[in-house]
């Protein structure tokens, strides 16, 4: 499966279209870390397409837009809901998407997840996702394995899939000693120069199985530090409480449960010796690509698009908890021994 570009995909579905509606909103204030901004960056900077970002609450603009201009494309991301409250809004969203489709608009749908990470309302999600796949002209994935997985799950022809690589994150690494000093001063991390440091960066969520990595770190027979950095995702307060208990149990665990400003992201990656991922399930991982941008040693599960990354020199994949433990021990001890 050959990689292509957004411009080529849009031209293939409607060569006359010059307006692209993007859902959800592109965060223009986070140009170094927002996935959507980085995905559309080249199109935003040139004048070939008018990229109009629409919030999940303003789907009526899709209908108004296609009525005034039939030569338009909708590029949709993350068609999911997490609770009953957000479920109530789904009929309206799906109705607007359906009208956009029936009125002649073209749809590109990016598939980020095999199914919702919290695994709630799976039957309803499967129904809605199959509808969305049927209405879409193109199903966009970031790797060939994602196509193989999702074509079966969505009962969609592989001919409908297009591969556009995950956008790269711009990295601004700094000296490790300076990075650790910054974290010690601003976040009370107490990172010594010789201490091996694991970083798990991003939203705190159950599907990442952070607590299991914390248990391994606590039980190791050598000193190391696990930094868990990122805001607590909605519906994961129980997990946060569990992690706080582990932090009380051991000084090896430190939780920084907050959004990190872009200017400080380099501190965390530059201070870390390796980035660990322990996803229960994953299709494509933005966290992996951020760690890759900083050229960190990466330990990740052999799942989804990550399965295609095992050939990279700084990436090691595991298939079970024993392999995860072994890889962590191996790399952390090597770091400690210089």
- The tens digit of pLDDT for each residue in 115-154 reads 888 778 889 999 999 999 999 999 999 999 999 999 999 9
Q: What is the pLDDT of residue 116?
A: 84
Q: At what angle do helices 60-68 and 90-102 cross, to 10 degrees?
A: 10
Q: Where are the alpha helices (DSSP H) in the chain?
A: 6-13, 35-45, 60-68, 84-87, 90-102, 122-135, 144-154, 176-187, 210-219, 237-249, 265-271, 286-293, 321-336
pLDDT (0 to 100) of residue 338: 67
Nearest-angstrom CA–CA distance, 306 and 317: 8
Q: 11: pLDDT confidence band, cut at 50, 70 and 90? A: very high
| SS3 call for 316 | strand
**pLDDT at residue 56 in the model:** 80
Q: Is 136 helix (H, G, I), strand (E, B) or coil?
A: coil
Reported as a single tens digit per residue, the pLDDT across 245-303 is 999 999 999 999 999 999 999 999 999 999 999 999 999 999 999 999 999 999 999 99
* Tokens describing residue 70: 């039939």
pLDDT grade for 104, boundaries at 50, 70 and 90: very high
pLDDT of residue 313: 92
* 114 or 22, greater pLDDT: 22
- Please, what is the average pLDDT of the chain? 95
Distance, CA of 16 to CA of 193 (rounded, Å): 58
Residue pointed to by tokens 């999600």:
125
| 43-99: pLDDT as tens digits | 999 988 999 999 888 999 999 999 998 899 999 999 988 877 778 888 999 999 999
Angle at 220 between CA 217 and CA 223, to 5 degrees: 85
Q: Residue 287 has what pLDDT?
A: 97
pLDDT recorded at residue 12? 96
Phi, psi angles (nearest 5°) of residue 204 = -80, 115
Q: What average pLDDT does range 218-223 have in this prediction?
A: 96
pLDDT of 86 reads: 77
| Nearest in space to 206 (alpha carbons), one of 132, 119, 80 | 119
Please say whether the beta carbons of 229 and 338 come within 8 A: no
186: confidence class by pLDDT, cuts 50, 70, 90: very high
| Average pLDDT rounded to a whole number, residues 207-228 | 97
Cα(186)–Cα(190) distance, integer angstroms: 10
**pLDDT score for 1:** 65
Q: Beta strand pairing status for 19-23 and 50-53? A: parallel
For the whole model, what pTM was predicted?
A: 0.94
The pLDDT confidence band at residue 332, using thresholds 50, 70 and 90, is: very high
Q: Which domains does the chain have, with CATH numbers?
A: 6-163 (3.40.50), 176-336 (3.40.50.2000)
């Amino acid at each position: 499966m050959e990689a292509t570009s957004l411009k080529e995909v849009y031209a293939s579905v409607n060569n006359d279209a010059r307006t692209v509606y993007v859902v959800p909103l592109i965060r223009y204030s986070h140009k170094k870390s927002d996935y959507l901004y980085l995905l559309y960056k080249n199109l935003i900077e040139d004048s070939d397409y008018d990229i109009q970002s629409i919030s999940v609450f303003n789907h009526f603009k899709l209908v108004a837009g296609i009525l005034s201009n039939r030569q338009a494309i909708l590029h949709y991301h993350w068609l999911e809901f997490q609770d009953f409250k957000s479920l109530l809004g789904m009929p309206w969203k799906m109705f607007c998407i359906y009208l956009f489709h029936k009125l002649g608009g073209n749809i590109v749908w990016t598939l980020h997840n095999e199914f919702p990470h919290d695994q709630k309302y799976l039957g309803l999600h499967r129904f809605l996702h199959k509808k969305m796949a049927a209405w879409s002209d193109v199903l966009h994935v970031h790797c060939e394995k994602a196509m193989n997985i999702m074509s079966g799950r969505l009962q969609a022809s592989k001919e409908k899939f297009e591969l556009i690589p995950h956008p790269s994150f711009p990295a601004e690494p700094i000296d490790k000693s300076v990075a650790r000093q910054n974290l010690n001063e601003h976040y009370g991390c107490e990172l010594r120069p010789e201490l091996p440091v694991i970083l798990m960066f991003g939203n705190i969520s159950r599907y990442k199985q952070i607590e299991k990595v914390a248990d391994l770190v606590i039980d190791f027979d050598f000193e190391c530090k696990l930094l868990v950095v990122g805001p607590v995702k909605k519906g994961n307060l129980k997990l946060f409480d569990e992690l706080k208990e582990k932090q009380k149990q051991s000084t090896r665990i430190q939780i920084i449960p907050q959004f990190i400003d872009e200017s400080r992201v380099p501190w965390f990656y530059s201070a870390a010796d390796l980035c660990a991922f322990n996803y229960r399930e994953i299709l494509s991982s933005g966290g992996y690509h951020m760690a890759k941008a900083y050229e960190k040693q990466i330990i990740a599960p052999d799942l989804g698009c990550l399965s295609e990354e095992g050939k990279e020199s700084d990436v090691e994949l595991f298939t079970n908890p024993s392999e995860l433990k072994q890889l962590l021990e191996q790399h952390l001890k090597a770091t400690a021994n210089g």
